[in-house]
Amino acid sequence: MSAVLVRVAACMLLLTVGQLAAMRCWQYTWPGVVDWNSPIDNETTCEGKTEPCIEPFVLSMNSTEPNMTKLQELCESGGCPPELWCNTKGGESCVKYAFWTTDVTTNELKIVNYSRFCGSARSGNADTGVFSTVVNDGCYQQQINSFILETCFCHGSYLCNGANGLSTSAGLLALLVASSIAAAAAGIWRT
């Protein structure tokens, strides 16, 4: 009987460790295209920004989105700071908060910038101010002037907020995003 109990306990322990690992999310901001010929200044700080802005920053040499495969390989080999990750807690999900615009020369959607972090949101009626439905999964879009704000939530997969690309989900929801990010040390990482 004790052998069976030990075996069950070991399985439960493995499940718990797996669940903890599955709740890790990316946590950083890609500020968009950076002019490498000018000094890196307030373009790469969160100072004065109203949308979620999560330090450290991850910059890419060719002005495209960071290569997530390369970034993950770098981090798994111990080559990046622990501030690039967060662990969800208390009903949080992994979040990607991105701004898109239409490129006037190609008429195609182009990403402007994004932040990835652990956070929570509720959807509801902006007119009444009642936001009662917890959002755990899915992508939601909202037109803001000439930009499309896309907020994507995922839950239960390791680094699930690392996906790129605009979703095709329909409908606009008013989202109240609450970030649970503690102040992280400022830093700049290049991929």
**Over the stretch 110-149, which tens digit does the pLDDT of each residue have?**
888 999 999 998 888 888 988 888 888 899 999 999 899 9
Instruction: Supply the pLDDT for residue 154.
Output: 93
Mean pLDDT of the 74-95 span: 89
Please tell me the total count of domains within the chain.
1
Strands 109-125 and 174-179: antiparallel
Torsions phi, psi for 161 (to 5 deg): -90, 25
Residue 6 resides in a domain: no
Query: Is residue 27's pLDDT more than 90?
Result: yes
Residue 12 resides in a domain: no
Domain hosting 111: range is 24-190
Residue 159 resides in a domain: yes
Residue 154 resides in a domain: yes
Mean pLDDT of the 76-80 span: 87
Instruction: Supply the pLDDT for residue 39.
Output: 60
Pair 173, 167: CB distance under 8 Å: no
Residue 64 resides in a domain: yes
Query: Is residue 174's pLDDT more than 80?
Result: no
Residue 72 resides in a domain: yes
Residue 71 resides in a domain: yes
Residue 153 resides in a domain: yes
Mean pLDDT of the 29-42 span: 70
